[in-house]
Amino acid sequence: MDSKETNALARRFQEEVGKASSVLVGSHLNPDGDALGSALAVGHYLDGLGIANEVLCHHKAPANLQFLPGAHQIRQTPKRASHDLAIVVDLDSLDRLGSTAPYFEKCPQLILLDHHLPHRSPGDLRIVDPSAPATSLILTRLLLACDADITADMATCLLTGIVTDTGSFRFRNTTPESLSLSAVLLERGGDINLVSEQIYQSTPIAAARLMGILYERMRFTSHDRLCWCELGHDDFVKTGATDADTEGLANDLLSIETVQIAALFRESRPGKVRTSLRSRHAFDVAEVAREFGGGGHANAAGCTFEEPIHQAAERVVARLKICLESS
């Protein structure tokens, strides 16, 4: 997305926001740093304009993101009966809003900001750039084009999204722009030390115990190029871990030197298996995820099953083997 297109979208964004007396802001189920960072940054921006707003999410902020400015204000149901405008971030389908979806569907206007490939194309105004590493980067770009007053709280929220979606600038999606805009956010008061400490240096004991099970149980195939692990419900009960404690574990499997594709299957709730797929280079795991009703990016995707974890793993691993052989 070039500067001319960004400026045109910024003008439209400002026009829509300027017409609203109240705004509903939201993101996807099981929110990560980019989802919550983007949503909260939008809320702070609207606060600065004096526009009433509420940030909604099906799930509360996970423990490692509760440091985000405004995280305690995230709600699961709105206080107001209606809003003039909805702004949703970091998702490509309204059904990923979970229980909050009906509140957003009631809004007469909807703005979407996202960096995923278009899926169901919701939104009256769509600000989408699949080449961007994070929705927070798109939002930073947009707010600068709007000449917005980016406060320290906003900068910290936006930095969180960029840092987490680039793996602290380690992933292949790290771009010159992600570094330059992060520098701008640091200049505006963003606290990257706080972000790094809370995200990467504050592992709960339960998560560490779950990590031990992961490394003990991980399995390899295809000449050690494919690695996967199953974490059943009993493992979560034994360690006291939650699904939020699995954040980053799929990337840990991918970090093993021979591994080109990694898969993590976890059943934090009985009967529901969530799957995280990660890959290097040209191996497109999003295509595999879509075959099972999921989606994501080429190198980071996921899907969900309601069947025994071993059965789900068997089906996905078989398909991932084909992905390895055909790429």
* pLDDT tens per residue across span 288-319: 999 999 888 889 999 999 999 999 999 999 99
294: domain CATH number is: 3.10.310.30
Same domain, 163 and 185: yes
- For range 25-32, the mean pLDDT: 92
Residue 295: per-residue pLDDT: 84
CA separation for the pair 175, 161 (Å, rounded): 14
Residue 120: per-residue pLDDT: 64
Last residue of a domain, one of 166, 200, 234: 200
Same domain, 7 and 122: yes
3-state secondary structure the chain: CCHHHHHHHHHHHHHHHHHCCEEEEECCCCCCHHHHHHHHHHHHHHHHHCCEEEEECCCCCCHHHCCCCCHHHCECCCCCCCCCEEEEECCCCHHHHHHHHHHHHCCCEEEEEECCCCCCCCCCEEEECCCCCCHHHHHHHHHHHCCCCCCHHHHHHHHHHHHHHCCCCCCCCCCHHHHHHHHHHHHCCCCHHHHHHHHHCCCCHHHHHHHHHHHHHCEEECCCCEEEEEECHHHHHHHCCCHHHHCCHHHHHHCCCCCCEEEEEEEEECCEEEEEEEECCCCCHHHHHHHCCCEEECCEEEEEECCCHHHHHHHHHHHHHHHHHHC
Give the rounded percent of residues in the chain with a pLDDT score beyond 90: 83
112: domain CATH number is: 3.90.1640.10
**CA 183 from centroid of its chain's CA atoms:** 22
Same domain, 152 and 56: yes
**Domain that includes residue 30, residue range:** 3-200
Taking 90 as the threshold, does the pLDDT of residue 142 lie above it?
yes
Give the best-scoring range by mean pLDDT among 26-30, 116-120, 225-229.
225-229
Same domain, 27 and 137: yes
Residue 296: per-residue pLDDT: 82
Q: Which residue is listed with tokens 């509140």?
A: 103
- For range 133-147, the mean pLDDT: 97
Same domain, 58 and 194: yes
Same domain, 239 and 175: no
Same domain, 294 and 173: no
Same domain, 52 and 101: yes
- For range 100-117, the mean pLDDT: 93
- For range 75-97, the mean pLDDT: 91
Taking 70 as the threshold, does the pLDDT of residue 16 lie above it?
yes
Whose CA is closest to 45, among 89, 76, 91, 77?
89
What's the number of domains the chain is made of?
2
Taking 90 as the threshold, does the pLDDT of residue 100 lie above it?
yes
Per-chain mean pLDDT for the chain: 94
Same domain, 136 and 189: yes
Last residue of a domain, one of 145, 180, 200: 200
Residue 147: per-residue pLDDT: 96
Same domain, 221 and 94: no
Same domain, 219 and 191: no
Whose CA is closest to 285, among 293, 295, 271?
295
- For range 53-80, the mean pLDDT: 94
Same domain, 42 and 138: yes
Residue 252: per-residue pLDDT: 95
Residue 326: per-residue pLDDT: 79
pLDDT (tens digit, 9 = 90+) per residue, 193-237?
A: 999 999 989 899 999 999 999 999 999 999 999 999 999 999 999
The dihedral built from the CA positions of residue 106, 107, 109 and 113, taken in this order, carries a sign that is negative
Residue 327: per-residue pLDDT: 62
This prediction's pTM: 0.87
Last residue of a domain, one of 200, 234, 259: 200
